[in-house]
Amino acid sequence: MHSIQDKLTEFFTIYRPDTQKRRVGFLCPYTVEEIIDAAGFVPFRIIPEQSSFDRADAYLPTNICSFLRQVVEMGVGEALKELDCIVINHSCDAARRVFELLDRHVSTRIYFQDIPRCDDSASRTYFRHILAGFRSFLEDIARTQITDEKLLRSIKRYNENRRLLRELYTLRAAHPDLVDSTLMQRVIENNGRNPKSMYNRLLASLIGELKERGQELKEAKTGIRIYVSGGLIDPLPLLGFIENAGGLIVGDDFCFGGRYFAVEVDEGNDPLSALSRRYLEKIPCGRMERATERFTYIINEIKQYNATALIYVGLKFCDNFLVDYPQLKMMLDQEGIPSLFLESEYSPLGRGQLETRIEGFLEKLG
Amino acid sequence: MSLQKDVQRMLLEKPDPGRIARVLLLVLIKTFLTPGSSFGTRSEKRLSLVLYDHARKFFKGTAGLDRASGFHRAPGFHRDGRSVFTSLFAPTELVYAFDFLPFSLEILAAVAASMELTPELLSRAEHNWLSTDFCSFHRAYMELVTAGMLPKPSFLLATSHTCDGTFKSFSHVSAHIRSPFLLIDTPYHNDGEAVRYLAGQLAEAAAQIEEITKTVLKKEKLERAFHFSNQARAALMEINELKKSPLPLMYGEESLAFVLISGNLMGSASGVTLFESYRKELGERLRKGYNGIEGKKRILWLHLKPFFPSTLMRYLERELKAVVVAEEINSVYWDELDMNDPWTSLARKLLSNYWVGNIEKRLKYIRRTIEEYRIDGVIHFSHWGCRQSNGGVRLIKDTVQEYGIPFLNLDGDCVDPRNYSEGQYVTRLEGFMEIMG
Amino acid sequence: MIAAGIDIGSVSTEMVVMKNGKLFASCIQETGSNSRSATERIMERVYSETGLSPDDIDFIVTTGYGRKAAGIGKKNVTELSCHARGAWHLNNEVRFVIDIGGQDSKVIKVSRGGKTLDFLMNDKCAAGTGRFLEVMARALEVDIEEMGEIALKAHGSVTISSMCTVFAESEVVSLIAEGNPREEIIRGLMNSIASRVAGMVHRIGLQEPVMLTGGVALNRGVVKALEEKLGTTISVPSNPQIVGALGAALFAMDEQEGQ
């Protein structure tokens, strides 16, 4: 019997994506991927994998998050050359500065997409205007019109993707040992780097496979059910540590995890307005005016998935996420949900502090 | 202005806004009695008096009869506070138009720093889960609020610029004290749609304030606030013009304090009186050929300075004789406000700020200033945690070096005296002087 | 004509005496806790070893952390300019000086005439300074003088991820416990220092040729790691610790000639 990882590898071979398509790099889930998809490009998540910042140091001070510093490192080191274009959102102050640096020092075309912080009708109108600008920009590069029909088709593909991910997440909550963090990370990372038309088929097959295996499982593995909250966490060994210490990850609200798929786009007329609405309406990140609303979402998820505790992780120097914790903690305390606060670099290294804290926390709970 | 230890202790141990108001009265009196010669200019003494009086009224929570501004209490006015917490670049004209008293929380943090209260405030903030990587301005005022040292404001008004931290901290503070928070989200771009969007938000904010205060915004009050703001602006422009003079007319250490006026008093009569006082005094100095300041080098200063008692500026300007003749924070970056289209006009003001949107505006300012003020060297004060400013240092440096003049990036903190030593400044400043030759 | 320069650093103090434009004597001592007494002690030692007396010296310039507290010397110049000048005197092709001292590090861009064009200092953080090596030498139980040679023998290296000295130390302890070969850890540490320093270099822009000064320059492992990081050969003078004092002595000569 193949392991599920092997099965996933098999699926990647079967559903091989069309590598001819041009790629548009992006960093943040507020980038409206549907427009990129409708232009015939593949939205490609930039997931830095280095841990040195020698070149980035020439451009950025040290007290900027390690994720963005690595993006700059990649940019000036010509590692992003193969992308047709890069989209940077107004995710934070540092992102704004990174855009200006890359714009001047990197040969790849870079586009800045502003995002309103608020979610009211004026903001939606304004955001629609911004998206219209984004569409024009992509039409220029793609040398093709991005019609409403094309947009609607992309929206449908993306909504399907969201539904499939939600199903996967529900499966995980039921069988966190089967759908473990290694598998989920792999699925999520690749979800950000492949065209949805192909990836949806892969996800459907994977879910089918998992359901079968899930039925065959005699009993669920025991462990402490943990909900993890944070932003960008791809290289962090965090989730593996939690599982090694006896935790079971039953849910998350990561930028490209739980908060990525939670809300769908309306499939009616005027897709640009629908997109504007959905992206402002979705479960917000720390930067948005509605930032603290996501706490209610988190607590509901914790209850729904029967999690025992929450682990919150913020990147060092990421104000948008770090400053939220005190308020979240207050709400969690009121609900009697224990929590652990971790600060980390965007790196697979530096195990010591994370591991010890996680082990200590789980020991206390167990 | 340094306070005695027992007064500091009292402020920190038994926080009570009313009591603080009384302490500030004593500070006011002390300042009033201090001889003018202790200050750099006569106007500086006046600025201190106005600032402390403004703070005193703010802590009492009521605007009272502000003779200086001419705003009377509305009849039937109830004793609920008229204090409003604002962010540094919030449109205070709007607040004054409602007869309310704004106070920038960042300026409050600066005042606390000058009173040497911040080491204690910040170490308490650290106990409350606030990371030391977060800007100390925000941490200091978050602690001031959560420790109950400030009056409960009627509402909070902030723009999303300066920075993300403004929004996060105001959000946190507002939730803590249960006071409504009006956020003005400044867009990145400034095309027609962006201006319309921002103007719409300002109109909406005015409507929300009407609802909160149960009053109606009167056109003539807004007009008056705009008028005062424009007059203050004109005076500041003339001050900036005067500072181009070959002989320095005032020290940068003092002019960096103008942010206390432009942050709190735009739209009030006292804002006008203060800037006009400075303009008059500097004009006199120029006419009389003032040579009281020996300057060997002319410096452009970017961002802010330490507000706690520190010898940094004195060492730079008086010992090394590198005088700051231009400060980014005092640049008049906006056009006159226009009552014909008040919200659009205010929106354009906000969008013209160098710290909004693309860094190109900031770089243009730097180039223009280097040329017009015959600058010998540029210093950027990298306040710890200020990512929106510090992130631009590379591009600023490249711009400055286009002119073949040196650039110095000075790491520091405006509000937290605990991590920085004078010795480290001295070497860097001297090295900078050695490069300027 | 005899001129002298004294570099009072936070860890060590150096003195250089120039006689008629040539290096006459030099001396290195520990600073201890007091700049003034450090200065007095080193002068005493130099006088006793050279047979000179205080009156023989025409002009003294002090530099370094304790340059103002030293209490002597008619003039003081920052260690930035002194390192630039001293390095340039040893090799007037030099355009970049990297100084890694006991508790601080600095990078200095030098003009064709030996003047400072730009600089960056790190005196807040132990990473990238001799202190880092000290802490790690203790954790690894090796002699700090041997670290360089050990690093050169390693075939591979272990990446140390922590930027901070304190965290790096505990990371090293874990790596030892996991059985990683000592020389690979040490090589990794050399790369850490080099990384930190290279960051500073790039911030002001590398200009070749480069000279390395300061006590840590004697560590060949650091030199090699830096060369690899920066992609350039780095020259190390035979007595890298006295470069600051040498520069100060040269400034003293200028003053003397001016008089």
Q: Which of A323, A327, A341 to mutate to test the interface with B (most CBs of B within 10 A)?
A: A323
pLDDT greater than 60 at residue B62? no
Are residues C117 and C181 located together in one domain of the fold? yes
Are residues C14 and C129 located together in one domain of the fold? no
pLDDT number for residue C75: 87
Supply φ then ψ for residue A219, to 5 degrees: -145, 150
Region C224-235: mean pLDDT is: 95
pLDDT number for residue A51: 67
Q: Which chains touch A (3 or more CB pairs under 8 A)?
A: B, C
Q: Which chains touch B (3 or more CB pairs under 8 A)?
A: A, C
Q: What is the pLDDT of residues B255-271, one digit of tens each?
A: 999 999 999 999 999 99
Element (H, E) at C110: strand C105-110
pLDDT number for residue B74: 33
Q: What is the pLDDT of residues B69-92, one digit of tens each?
A: 333 333 322 345 788 999 999 999
- How many folded domains does chain A comprise? 1
Residue with tokens 């041009």, as numbered in its chain: A22
Q: What is the pLDDT of residues A56-81, one digit of tens each?
A: 989 999 889 999 999 999 999 889 99
pLDDT number for residue B150: 82
Closest to A28 in 3D by CA, of A264, A263, A287: A287
Closest to C115 in 3D by CA, of C224, C251, C23: C251
Q: What is the pLDDT of residues B182-195, one digit of tens each?
A: 999 999 999 999 99
- Contact of B406 with chain C, judged by CB distance below 8 Å, is answered with yes
- How many folded domains does chain C comprise? 2
Q: Do C119 and B431 touch (CB under 8 A)?
A: yes
Q: Report residue C169 as tokens.
A: 């130390």
Q: Which chains touch C (3 or more CB pairs under 8 A)?
A: A, B
What span, in angstroms and rounded, lies between the C-alpha atoms of A251 and A258?
Answer: 7
Are residues C132 and C217 located together in one domain of the fold? yes
Contacts of B6 (CB under 8 A, 6+ apart): none
Q: Do B392 and A123 touch (CB under 8 A)?
A: no
Look at the alpha carbons of A171, A175, A176, A182 in this order and tell me if their dihedral is positive or negative. Answer: negative
Look at the alpha carbons of A232, A238, A243, A246 in this order and tell me if their dihedral is positive or negative. Answer: negative
> Got the DSSP string for B191-225?
SHHHHHHHHHHHHHHHHHHHHHHT----HHHHHHH
pLDDT number for residue B1: 47
What span, in angstroms and rounded, lies between the C-alpha atoms of A60 and B392?
Answer: 8
pLDDT higher at C170 or A319:
A319
Q: What is the pLDDT of residues A146-195, one digit of tens each?
A: 999 999 999 999 999 999 999 999 999 999 989 999 999 999 999 999 99
Q: How far is CA C231 from the centre of its chain?
A: 21
Yes or no: say if C78 and C65 are a contact pair by the CB < 8 Å rule. Answer: no
Q: What is the pLDDT of residues C14-71, one digit of tens each?
A: 999 999 999 999 999 999 989 999 999 999 999 999 999 989 999 999 999 889 888 8
What value of ipTM does the predicted structure carry?
0.94
pLDDT number for residue C259: 67
Residue of B nearest to A65 (CA): B387
Yes or no: say if A59 and A98 are a contact pair by the CB < 8 Å rule. Answer: no
Q: Across all residues in chain C, what is the average pLDDT?
A: 91
Closest to B105 in 3D by CA, of B84, B123, B135, B91: B84
Residue of A nearest to B134 (CA): A319
For residue A30, what are the domain limits?
21-142
Look at the alpha carbons of B361, B362, B367, B372 in this order and tell me if their dihedral is positive or negative. Answer: positive
Q: What is the pLDDT of residues C83-104, one digit of tens each?
A: 999 999 999 999 999 999 888 8
pLDDT number for residue A13: 87
Are residues C98 and C204 located together in one domain of the fold? yes
For residue C250, what are the domain limits?
1-91+242-259
Contacts of A332 (CB under 8 A, 6+ apart): A299, A310, A338, A339
**Helix, strand or coil, per DSSP, at residue A55:** coil
- Contact of B395 with chain C, judged by CB distance below 8 Å, is answered with no
Are residues C140 and C18 located together in one domain of the fold? no
> Got the DSSP string for A165-224?
HHHHHHHHHH-TTTS-HHHHHHHHHHHTTS-HHHHHHHHHHHHHHHHHHHHH-SSPPP-E
Q: Measured between CB atoms, which of A63, A320, A325 is closest to B164?
A: A320
Are residues C81 and C112 located together in one domain of the fold? no
Q: How far is C195 from chain A (nearest CA, A)?
A: 6
For chain C, give percent helix, strand, coil, nearest 5.
45, 20, 30
Residue of C nearest to A350 (CA): C161
What span, in angstroms and rounded, lies between the C-alpha atoms of B313 and B310?
Answer: 7
pLDDT number for residue C203: 87
User: Which residues in C lie closer than 8 A to residue B428 (C-beta atoms)?
Assistant: 121
For residue A37, what is the domain's CATH number? 3.40.50.11890
Region B347-358: mean pLDDT is: 96
Strands A85-89 and A109-113: what pairing?
parallel
pLDDT number for residue B59: 78
pLDDT number for residue A222: 85
Q: Which residues of A341-359 are buried (b: 16+ CB within 10 A; e: fewer)?
A: bbbbbbbeebbbebbebbb
Q: Which of A17-21, A26-30, B95-99 has the lowest mean pLDDT?
A: A17-21
Closest to C195 in 3D by CA, of A283, B268, A349: A349
Supply φ then ψ for residue A204, to 5 degrees: -60, -45
Region C136-162: mean pLDDT is: 87
Q: Across all residues in chain B, what is the average pLDDT?
A: 90
**Helix, strand or coil, per DSSP, at residue C180:** coil
pLDDT greater than 90 at residue B327? yes
Closest to A247 in 3D by CA, of A188, A180, A302: A180
pLDDT number for residue A351: 67
What span, in angstroms and rounded, lies between the C-alpha atoms of C200 and A51?
Answer: 17
Are residues C87 and C100 located together in one domain of the fold? no
In A288-362 the beta strands, taken as DSSP E runs, fall at 309-315, 339-344
For residue C45, what is the domain's CATH number? 3.30.420.40
What span, in angstroms and rounded, lies between the C-alpha atoms of C256 and C259?
Answer: 5
Confidence of residue C158 (pLDDT cuts 50, 70, 90): confident
Q: Which of A267-281, B376-390, B410-424 has the lowest mean pLDDT?
A: B410-424
Are residues C103 and C186 located together in one domain of the fold? yes
A160 assigned to some structural domain: no
Are residues C66 and C101 located together in one domain of the fold? no
> Got the DSSP string for A330-345?
HHHHHHT--EEEEEE-
Domains delineated in chain B: 5-214 (3.40.50.11890)
Residue of C nearest to A51 (CA): C161
- Contact of B402 with chain A, judged by CB distance below 8 Å, is answered with no
What span, in angstroms and rounded, lies between the C-alpha atoms of C161 and C168?
Answer: 7
State percent of chain B over pLDDT 70.
93
Q: How far is CA B365 from the centre of its chain?
A: 19
Closest to C218 in 3D by CA, of C126, C148, C136, C143: C148
Yes or no: say if B98 and B207 are a contact pair by the CB < 8 Å rule. Answer: no
> Got the DSSP string for A66-132?
HHHHHHHHHHHTTTTTTSSEEEEE-SSHHHHHHHHHHHHH-SSEEEEE---S--SHHHHHHHHHHHH
